[in-house]
């Protein structure tokens, strides 16, 4: 791999991670902490929404984010031909 | 069969399983001893990581903490899971690519400095011993309650088991026993939760029961809980008395601390490929989430059950409180451990359980003839007593005992292993006696593990007065010292030796100083541990978040004004950023 595609691979990697970490931040620190009172005025299925994000929802989203990351990185590895041998 | 016999059978069978695995998975090379030969399937590693991560605190204490903290307990739920996103995306794949045995080794190589490596070893040993003392204590408690042996005997049995599979099997043995321990602990945790959820709401899935209506009423469980606890002067369950900034800082310190804990990071060195390290973190979080999404439901249900057991009728009514002589058997059993106690302050023979620190409600209680809260319940009881409270069969109680021991042993073994590899690999092999053969290094590793077990057992039996307070230490230090330098080592080519050492020391000294100032560890606290004295209103539990920011800032500033890292180091950074094998990234 030459320097140019190496830099491009890294740029795309960092961009993906930043995007996912923004979601990570919003569901936990945003919905679960900073805006919890506002969201608690919304209720669904017996939960106050902010409370649900703090004790349930953020954890589900965390797990999903990692699998999205794995999938996107595997794609990126193939595209730039940097995948380890099978 | 009686409970004690059943418990002996459950615990005995689980021990036989762990030892069997240890004999099967004996390590014969340093690679196997330190990182299980890097041949572990990512799903299997995820399961082992989950057991490694979930300690006696997660299994025994967390749901109880949440039961009494309500929304305030969310810091543990988010804080102890969110770190896996950071691990998966920022650390694990790159450290796996680097392909060495220990965390200090990466730090020493990346920052071309033995000093940096030794500072990292010191942080690692401090963090890990703090943690392991708590695990050994957990083993002791479970043994003394369920097997009716004294704590010392319990500890010696627990230590012997860990000795066999950690010393013999090394990382390979630990990995496969952790898989078995995960299975034991997760079954032990979820089975009672399912029974209780079904009894209370008719929905067997705890995560859904949490938001369901209470059996026989149209009232949602959380609404009922809010009502029941506020009626007794407690804070509404879904709110907290902590400030938003403190909740924010504690959550951040726990998340970042999780991602900086050496015994967790090292688990990702055991998988074959970079992409396995990524997916393995995802699997670890799935396995952890099964317990972590069940725990808040268990906490809420336990709080509701406990309150309704004591407050049997309307608050203030003549016959609204439980008569002491008619208390259920589980209360009697736990009284003998001292973790639950009743003091009939107004001498009416009934139990009053309410918040006497709430002035407004205390005044009302006076009119009822109540003279203060009469029931004290330790957090740790909630999970262990749950099956008894719900009147589940004895085999479920025996299973919970085996699960608690599995949670404590799996974490202890992981911690002991990183301590021993740091001593044999980072200190002896690389710093003091570099001409050791592999065979000697392996033997040293085993001896170090054995010594570490002995010290851990001693700390578990004679917990220094500060054990309960040092949990903040372990996470704060991991967040403020190790995590930032690893991240900067990967994501910046310009951070140099001087910057990394200055950053680590700043984070370490600041965080340690702050915690000691408020909590006092070897000395008396210097400042009162209350919000008006805290920096920005952040408690010692959350101060690692500030220490982390300082570490980043100092490392950047110092690196700016000192010489750039050598060219070979910058090339090494490019190399670890790409999954493909050796040479690909440095091939200019």
Cα B418 off chain centre by? 16
Closest residue in A to B220 (Cα) is A46
Report the residue from A40, A70, A84 with minimal CB separation from B279.
A70
- Please give the ipTM for the structure prediction: 0.94
Helices (H), B147-240: 151-162, 169-201, 206-209, 221-231
B375: left (phi over 0), alpha (psi -120 to 50) or beta: beta
- B338-367 burial: b if 16+ Cβ within 10 Å, else e: ebbebeeeeeeebbbbbbbebeebbeebee
Residue A42, pLDDT above cutoff 60: yes
Burial class from Cβ neighbours inside 10 Å (0-12, 13-18, 19+) for residue B492 reads middle
Question: What local confidence, expressed as pLDDT, does residue B582 receive?
Answer: 46
B340 by DSSP, 3-state: which? strand
State the Cα–Cα distance between residues B56 and B139, nearest whole angstrom. Answer: 8
Average pLDDT over residues A69-84: 89
Nearest CA-CA distance, residue B220 and chain A, Å:
5
A47 by DSSP, 3-state: which? strand
Q: Does a structural domain hold residue A55?
A: yes
Residue A55 to residue B247, Cβ atoms within 8 A: no
Q: Which residues of chain B lie closer than 8 angstroms to A58, CB-CB?
A: 77-78, 81-82
Contact B453, B298 (CB under 8 A): no
State the Cα–Cα distance between residues B328 and B343, nearest whole angstrom. Answer: 16
**B363 is written with which tokens?**
């005044």
Residue B275 to residue A63, Cβ atoms within 8 A: no
Q: Does a structural domain hold residue A71?
A: yes
Interface membership of B468 toward A (CB under 8 Å): no
Nearest CA-CA distance, residue A81 and chain B, Å:
8
Interface membership of A70 toward B (CB under 8 Å): yes
State the Cα–Cα distance between residues B132 and B456, nearest whole angstrom. Answer: 6
Interface membership of B204 toward A (CB under 8 Å): no
Q: Does a structural domain hold residue A59?
A: yes
Q: Does a structural domain hold residue A85?
A: no
Of the pLDDT bands very low, low, confident and very high (cuts 50, 70, 90), residue A23 is very high
Interface membership of A82 toward B (CB under 8 Å): yes
Query: Which run of H or E residues covers position B376?
Result: strand B375-377
Helices (H), B422-496: 438-461, 471-477, 483-491
Closest residue in B to A82 (Cα) is B580
Helices (H), A1-86: 3-25, 36-40, 49-52, 58-79
Interface of B with A in 342-381 (CB under 8 A): none
For A9, the domain range is: 3-79
State the Cα–Cα distance between residues B2 and B11, nearest whole angstrom. Answer: 14
How many structural domains compose chain A?
Answer: 1
Question: What local confidence, expressed as pLDDT, does residue B471 receive?
Answer: 65
Residue B85 to residue A9, Cβ atoms within 8 A: no
Residue A28 to residue B212, Cβ atoms within 8 A: no
Question: What local confidence, expressed as pLDDT, does residue B286 receive?
Answer: 96
Burial class from Cβ neighbours inside 10 Å (0-12, 13-18, 19+) for residue B321 reads buried
Question: What local confidence, expressed as pLDDT, does residue B585 receive?
Answer: 32
Residue B584 to residue A1, Cβ atoms within 8 A: yes
Q: Does a structural domain hold residue A84?
A: no
State the Cα–Cα distance between residues B92 and A13, nearest whole angstrom. Answer: 14
Question: What local confidence, expressed as pLDDT, does residue B522 receive?
Answer: 63
Residues lower than pLDDT 50 in chain B:
466-468, 582-588
Interval B279-327: pLDDT, tens: 999 999 999 999 999 999 999 998 888 888 888 888 877 788 888 888 8
Q: Does a structural domain hold residue A75?
A: yes
Question: What local confidence, expressed as pLDDT, does residue B194 receive?
Answer: 92
For helices B381-389 and B169-201, what crossing angle results, to 10°? 50
> Long-range contact list for B349-352, CB < 8 A, 24+ apart?
B349/B323, B349/B324, B349/B325, B350/B321, B350/B322, B350/B323, B350/B324, B351/B310, B351/B321, B351/B322, B351/B323, B351/B324, B351/B327, B351/B375, B352/B310, B352/B321
Measured torsion, CA atoms of residues B29, B35, B38, B44, in degrees rounded to the nearest 10: 120
Closest residue in A to B214 (Cα) is A46
Question: What local confidence, expressed as pLDDT, does residue B587 receive?
Answer: 30
Q: Does a structural domain hold residue A26?
A: yes
| Among B256, B248, B239, residue whose Cα is nearest residue B81 | B256
Interval B7-66: pLDDT, tens: 888 888 988 888 888 888 777 777 777 777 777 888 988 999 999 898 887 888 888 888
> Long-range contact list for B233-236, CB < 8 A, 24+ apart?
B233/B354, B233/B355, B233/B356, B233/B358, B233/B360, B233/B361, B233/B362, B233/B364, B233/B365, B234/B354, B234/B355, B234/B358, B235/B70, B235/B355, B236/B70
**B483 is written with which tokens?**
């995590």
Interface membership of B544 toward A (CB under 8 Å): no
Report the residue from A28, A46, A65 with minimal CB separation from B222.
A46
Nearest CA-CA distance, residue B292 and chain A, Å:
8
Bigger pLDDT: A66 vs B122: A66
Q: Does a structural domain hold residue A17?
A: yes
> Domains of chain B by range and CATH?
3-300+390-464 (1.10.4160), 305-387 (no CATH)
Closest residue in B to A55 (Cα) is B74
* CA atoms within 13 Å, Cβ hemisphere of B268: 32
Closest residue in A to B71 (Cα) is A51
pTM (predicted TM-score)? 0.90
Residue B578 to residue A1, Cβ atoms within 8 A: yes
């Amino acid at each position: 791999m030459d320097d140019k595609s190496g830099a491009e691979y890294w740029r795309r990697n960092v961009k993906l991670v930043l995007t996912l970490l923004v979601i990570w931040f919003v569901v936990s620190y945003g919905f679960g902490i900073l805006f919890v009172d506002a969201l608690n005025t919304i209720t669904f299925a017996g939960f106050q929404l902010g409370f649900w994000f703090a004790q349930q929802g953020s954890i589900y989203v965390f797990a999903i984010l990692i699998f999205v990351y794995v999938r996107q990185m595997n794609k990126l590895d193939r595209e730039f031909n940097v995948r380890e041998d099978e | 069969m009686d409970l004690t016999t059943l418990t002996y059978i459950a615990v005995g069978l689980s021990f036989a399983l762990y030892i069997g695995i240890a004999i099967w998975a004996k390590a014969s090379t340093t690679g196997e001893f330190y990182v299980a030969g890097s041949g572990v399937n990512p799903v299997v590693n995820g399961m082992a990581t989950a057991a490694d991560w979930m300690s006696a605190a997660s299994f025994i204490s967390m749901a109880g903490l949440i039961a009494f903290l309500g929304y305030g307990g969310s810091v543990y739920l988010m804080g102890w899971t969110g770190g896996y996103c950071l691990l998966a995306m920022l650390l694990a794949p790159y450290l796996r690519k680097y392909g060495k045995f220990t965390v200090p080794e990466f730090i020493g190589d990346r920052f071309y400095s033995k000093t940096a490596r030794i500072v990292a070893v010191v942080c690692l040993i401090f963090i890990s011993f703090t943690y392991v003392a708590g695990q050994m204590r957990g083993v002791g408690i479970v043994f003394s309650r369920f097997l009716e042996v004294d704590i010392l005997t319990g500890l010696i049995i627990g230590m012997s088991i860990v000795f066999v599979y950690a010393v013999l099997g090394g990382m390979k043995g630990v990995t496969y026993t952790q898989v078995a321990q995960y299975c034991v602990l997760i079954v032990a945790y979820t089975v009672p939760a399912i029974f209780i959820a079904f009894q209370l709401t008719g929905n067997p899935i705890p995560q859904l029961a949490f938001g369901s209506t209470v059996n026989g009423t149209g009232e949602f469980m959380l609404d009922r809980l809010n009502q029941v606890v506020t009626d007794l002067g407690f804070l509404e369950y879904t709110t907290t008395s902590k400030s938003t900034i403190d909740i924010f800082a504690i959550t951040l310190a726990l998340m970042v601390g999780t991602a900086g804990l050496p015994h967790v990071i090292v688990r990702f060195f055991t998988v074959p490929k970079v992409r396995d390290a990524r997916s393995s973190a995802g699997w670890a979080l799935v396995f952890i989430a099964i317990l972590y999404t069940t725990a808040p439901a268990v906490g809420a249900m336990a709080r509701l059950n406990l309150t309704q057991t004591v407050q049997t009728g309307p608050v203030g009514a003549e016959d609204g409180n439980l008569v002491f002589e008619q208390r259920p058997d589980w209360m009697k059993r736990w009284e003998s451990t001292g973790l639950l106690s009743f003091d009939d302050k107004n001498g009416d023979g009934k139990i009053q359980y309410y918040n006497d620190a709430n002035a407004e409600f205390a005044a009302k209680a006076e009119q009822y003839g109540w003279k203060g809260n009469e029931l004290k319940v330790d957090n740790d009881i909630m999970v262990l007593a749950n099956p008894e409270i719900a009147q589940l069969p004895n085999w479920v109680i025996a299973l919970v005992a085996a699960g608690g021991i599995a949670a404590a042993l799996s974490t202890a073994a992981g911690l002991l292993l990183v301590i021993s590899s740091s001593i044999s690999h980072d200190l002896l092999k690389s710093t003091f006696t570099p001409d050791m053969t592999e065979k000697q290094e392996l033997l040293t590793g085993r001896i170090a593990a054995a010594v570490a077990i002995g010290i851990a057992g001693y700390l578990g039996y004679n917990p220094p007065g500060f054990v309960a307070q040092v949990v903040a230490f372990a996470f704060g230090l991991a967040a403020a010292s190790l995590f930032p330098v690893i991240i900067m080592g990967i994501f910046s080519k310009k951070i140099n030796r001087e910057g990394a050492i200055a950053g680590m020391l700043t984070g370490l000294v600041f965080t340690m100083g702050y915690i000691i100032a408020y909590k006092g560890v070897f000395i008396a606290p210097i400042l009162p541990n209350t919000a008006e004295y805290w920096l920005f209103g952040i408690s010692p539990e959350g101060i690692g978040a500030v220490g982390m920011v300082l570490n980043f800032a100092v490392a950047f500033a110092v690196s700016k004004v000192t010489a750039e890292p050598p060219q070979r180091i910058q090339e090494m950074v490019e190399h670890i950023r790409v999954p493909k094998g050796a040479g690909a990234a440095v091939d200019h």
